[in-house]
Each structure stands twice: as C-alpha cells, then as structure tokens.
C-alpha cells in the first residue's frame, strides 16, 4: 500500500512540476486607435495628376493612447529627399513639399481624421517660420479596396495643404499594406 501511495505521490508531483513550468505571457492589449492605425501604400495627387509613385505612409496611436488623435507619418520619404536649407524637400514628384509627421484629430467611431495648422515634426529648417500643414477629409475605409493580388484591404484618403504652399491642395490616397510581396511598392 505504501508503494502505491509513493507512486501516486510521485505522479502528482510530476504533473504539478510540469504545469508549474508552463509559462503564460501577459496580453499586451490593443491600442485605442487600432482600426485607424496601419501601414499604407499611397500616392500623391493634385487634381487629376498623379505626382508620385506609391510611397509608404503610416498611421499610429499617440503616446496617450486615446481615441481622439493619431500620428500621420511618411517616415521613409527622407530616403528620396534633398536637404534645402536644413529642410527635407522632395523634388522627385515634380513639386517641392516637405516630409511630414503630424498629430491629427481622430473621430474613432467614424474612422475620420483631420486638423488645421498641425505642427510638422519633421521640420528642421528655419525655426522662426516652421512649416505646418492641414489635413482635411481624412478617412479610413475598412475593406475599402482590393489590392493588386486580390486581397480585400482597407483604404485611406485625405487632402493635405502645406503652409509654405497654401494655394495647392494635394490628395493622398492608397491601400493598407497586406504583407503580400506583390502588393508592396
């Protein structure tokens, strides 16, 4: 009988030690701007003229992680830029505009975003006249388009006006990055 109790005891001890080694990771949670956040392939247009090939844009939550604001950022554009007086300026699109990173107001339930005179966090030039820009009619459309490979994906659209060129309105539009190599530009 003692032998059976010892075997049962060792069995229970073995099971307990195996479950004690099971590691559970904490859930990182989700950002409050999750449905408006993403990586995008977008073009820049003025009227019916496309001024740029597809370029990379990203939208993401702010450090406050609230539903009322997001960052709108073209982080890779500096790779195609020149420095002009300390400012990143793009000539490859046939226009001169500065790279931008702005915090825009977000209406999360409608997936719309906008803002006027937004501080451009990439502006590195003359601090006495920093560049601002305004975003109008910004919107994320869930499953709003189909990618080149046939994947149904979100789309994004917004109008942008740079303070250094307030007479021109540019349109930025495109689709969410799908992860498919053939969809990357």
The CATH number for 121's domain is 2.40.128.220
Residue written as token pair 């149904």: 152
**Considering the domain boundaries, does residue 9 fall inside one?**
no
For residue 95, the 8-state DSSP code is S
Count of the separate structural domains present in the chain: 1
Distance CA(58)–CA(36), nearest Å, equals 10
Report which of residues 97 and 30 the model is more confident about.
Answer: 30
CA angle 104, 44, 156 (to 5 degrees): 50
CA angle 84, 71, 112 (to 5 degrees): 120
Provide the whole-model pTM: 0.74
Whether the pLDDT of residue 32 is over 70: the answer is yes
**Considering the domain boundaries, does residue 4 fall inside one?**
no
**Considering the domain boundaries, does residue 95 fall inside one?**
yes
Closest by CA to 161, choosing from 152, 172, 151, is: 172
Report which of residues 165 and 59 the model is more confident about.
Answer: 59
**Considering the domain boundaries, does residue 114 fall inside one?**
yes
Full residue range of the structural domain in which residue 150 is found: 34-183
**Considering the domain boundaries, does residue 155 fall inside one?**
yes
């Amino acid at each position: 009988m003692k032998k059976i109790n010892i075997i049962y005891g060792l069995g229970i001890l073995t099971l307990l030690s195996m479950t004690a080694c099971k590691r559970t990771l904490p859930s990182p949670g989700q950002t409050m701007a999750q449905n408006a956040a993403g990586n995008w392939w977008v073009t820049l247009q003025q009227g019916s003229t496309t001024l740029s090939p597809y370029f990379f844009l990203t939208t993401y939550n702010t450090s406050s992680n609230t539903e009322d604001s997001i960052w709108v950022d073209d982080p890779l554009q500096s790779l195609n830029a020149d420095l002009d007086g300390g400012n990143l300026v793009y000539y490859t699109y046939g226009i001169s505009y500065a790279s931008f990173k702005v915090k825009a107001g977000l209406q999360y339930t409608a997936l719309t975003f906008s803002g006027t005179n937004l501080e451009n966090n990439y502006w590195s030039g003359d601090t006495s006249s920093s560049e601002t820009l305004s975003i109008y009619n910004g919107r994320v459309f869930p499953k709003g388009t189909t990618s080149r490979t046939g994947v149904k994906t979100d789309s994004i659209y917004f109008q942008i006006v740079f303070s250094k060129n307030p007479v021109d309105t540019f349109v930025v539009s495109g689709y969410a990055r799908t992860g498919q190599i053939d969809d990357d530009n």
